[in-house]
Amino acid sequence: MKELVCIVCPKGCRLHVDEENGFAVTGNSCPRGAAYGKNEIQNPTRVLTSTVKITGGAYRRCPVKTDAAVPKGRLMDVMRALNEVEIQSPVSIGQVVLADVAGTGANVVVTKAL
Amino acid sequence: MYDLIVIGGGPAGLAAANSAWQKGLRRILIVERDKELGGILNQCIHNGFGLHRFKEELTGPEYAARFIEMLNSTGVEVMLDTMVLEINDQRQVHVISAEKGYQVLEARSIVLSMGCRERTRGAIGIPGDRPAGVFTAGSAQRYLNLEGYMVGKRVVILGSGDIGLIMARRMTLEGATVLACVELMPYSGGLMRNIVQCLQDWGIPLYLSHTITDIQSQNGRVSHVTVQKLDENRNPIPGTNLEFDCDTVLLSVGLIPENELTRAAGIEMDPRTNGAVVYENMETSVPGIFACGNVVHVHDLVDYVSAESERAGAAAAEFVLKGKREGTALTVQNGADVGYTVPQKIRVSDVEKAADLFFRVRKVFRDSVIEVRSGDELLLSFKRDHMAPGEMEHILLPRKILDQARGDTLTVSAKEA
């Protein structure tokens, strides 16, 4: 039995994951928590948020995120890939700036119109 | 003459203006001092916003964009790059901007939604040198996420508020080494999920009941900090020194509601929240002036700011269209281990179905009970598996229960089950 804190939402439910019984989750208050508990023990993933360089916008950096969770061990590979990205204003929310980033299958998308 | 002037165009002001529009007000103005709407959400590029409100996980800028889009479909006016200098109980708003100079605007109602600012080094008196390299976590966040400046390479974070935790992860992702997060209290001030995903994910140690007792510098920049463990009276324990070579100290040591306008207008303040005393509909002690969001009390979640601010906006509309509420008020008192409540006053005859009550407890609880009493009589109780000062609690007080209250006070308390 492993104990962990659910990070799906700010509620922070205290989960118990039973590795010997098909990773059954208790302590969750929604189905997303159960899925998180199962996943976190077997293959922890995170949505990555960061910024990329932008020219011609109101700010010098444009916020972005991965459109899917990527394996925790690959986050720094995604960051390295983002260092190479430079975009030009105007951009809109959801616009893909880097597809299949670092071979993770996730796309990096804009989170603020600039 | 405006029906409503909203002061501050962050999440609170946006929600209040939208809501007042939906309730029928047509001459609404938002005054914002920054060059765009959205407030602090613009620099909060991390995700986790909107799970309650939109049932999906948004980043700060995305959450703001949802509300700005809603606003764009209304006729609400917006003044950007404009600072409010003064308001008064006649509901006059003195504003100044480079473009239009000094103006005195008049309104039938006002919503105060100025948010809060960070506590600085001066407010907590850290001993040592006064070099460059000491930032509040929020200003470092703005430098990094909007302006594109990395503020340091080896970082110690003082305080475990959410902004500090978020910045621990953010600085790590951008290549800095975050050596430690140091917290004065025996518990974290931030959300548990942020302890997990911002510190534990990256192997950053959290030292509870510790503080920085010295900052040293070389060539005008932070070079070293000393951290010490504290006893139960928060005095440093000799011989417990932890030494860190670092170039940067980030402070996440609390937020102060920004209430200079509120105080100067003679509005009654609550020393526990550093915000205005408010009624069940977020009205302050001055009829027709409402307050919502972090200027009233510091929230954990923007979703709750939006919900509270929609109530304030709706109440401003009710005030303009139907006149003021006249009911007599119950005062909510803080019982054992309750730090504050919002609202502080409830006009029972004006409560339709139930009144929302928000509060914070003073210590960490496992299995516990929240109790609402009128004198000695227990009116309501709520069970909780877990409560902590870093996590705001919310209960609903049904009208039919409030009607049973005797006298003019209610007491809310917390205890172990």
What mean pLDDT is reported for chain B? Answer: 95
Q: Let me know whether A78 and A101 are in one domain.
A: yes
B47 inside 8 A of chain A by CB: yes
Q: Let me know whether A13 and A33 are in one domain.
A: yes
Q: How far apart are CA B146 and CA A63, in angstroms?
A: 8
Number of independent structural domains in chain A: 2
Q: Let me know whether A24 and A7 are in one domain.
A: yes
Q: Let me know whether A81 and A60 are in one domain.
A: yes
Answer yes or no: do B145 and A58 touch at CB < 8 A. no
Q: Let me know whether A67 and A105 are in one domain.
A: yes
**Chains A and B: how many Cβ contacts under 8 Å?**
85
- % of chain B exceeding 90 in pLDDT: 86
Q: Is B334 within 8 Å of B272 (Cβ atoms)?
A: yes
CATH fold of B120-253 reads FAD/NAD(P)-binding domain (3.50.50)
B307's CB contacts (< 8 A; 6+ apart) are B15, B52, B53
Range B353-377 average pLDDT: 92
What is the residue-wise DSSP string for B11-59? HHHHHHHHHHHHTT---EEEE-SSSSSSGGGGG--SEEE-TTTTSS-EE
Note the ipTM here: 0.90
Give exposure, B82-92, as e/b (b: 16+ Cβ within 10 Å).
bebeebbeebe
Range A33-48 average pLDDT: 89
Beta-carbon count within 10 A of B188 CB:
24
Q: Let me know whether A20 and A55 are in one domain.
A: no
Q: How far apart are CA A35 and CA A25, in angstroms?
A: 8
Answer yes or no: do A59 and B146 touch at CB < 8 A. yes
Q: Let me know whether A62 and A91 are in one domain.
A: yes
Q: What is the CATH number of the domain that holds A62?
A: 3.10.530.10
Q: Let me know whether A37 and A84 are in one domain.
A: no
pLDDT at A2: 84
Residue with tokens 């071979």: A103
Q: Is the pLDDT assigned to residue A12 strictly greater than 80?
A: no
Higher pLDDT, B169 or A39: B169
* pLDDT tens figures, B91-124: 999 999 999 999 999 999 999 999 999 999 888 8
* CA-to-CA separations, B272 to A27, B21, B235, B269, B286, in angstroms, rounded: 34, 32, 24, 9, 19
Q: Does the structural domain B327-417 have CATH classification 1.10.10?
A: no
Answer yes or no: do A75 and B173 touch at CB < 8 A. yes
Q: Is B39 within 8 Å of B9 (Cβ atoms)?
A: yes
Q: Let me know whether A14 and A38 are in one domain.
A: yes
Mutate to test the interface with A, among B42, B43, B47 (most CBs of A within 10 A): B47
Per-residue tokens: B195: 């302890």
Beta-carbon count within 10 A of B347 CB:
19
Rounded to 5 degrees, φ, ψ at B379 are -90, -40
A68 inside 8 A of chain B by CB: no
Q: How far apart are CA B331 and CA B69, in angstroms?
A: 38
Q: Let me know whether A37 and A72 are in one domain.
A: no
What global pTM score does this model have? 0.92
Q: Which of B61, B11, B13, B9 is nearest to B35 (CA)?
A: B9
* pLDDT tens figures, B33-68: 999 999 999 999 999 899 889 988 899 999 999 999
Q: Let me know whether A55 and A100 are in one domain.
A: yes
Q: Where are the alpha helices (DSSP H) in A19-74?
A: 31-42
The nearest alpha carbon in chain A to B58 belongs to A111
- % of chain B exceeding 70 in pLDDT: 100
Q: Let me know whether A53 and A96 are in one domain.
A: yes
Q: Is the peptide bond before A90 cis (omega within 30 degrees of 0)?
A: yes
**Residues spanned by the domain of A57:** 49-110
Q: Smallest CA–CA separation between B127 and chain A, in Å?
A: 34
Range B351-362 average pLDDT: 94
Q: Does the structural domain B1-117+255-325 have CATH classification 2.40.160.40?
A: no
* For chain B, domain boundaries: 1-117+255-325, 120-253, 327-417
In the chain, the amino acid numbered B320 is V
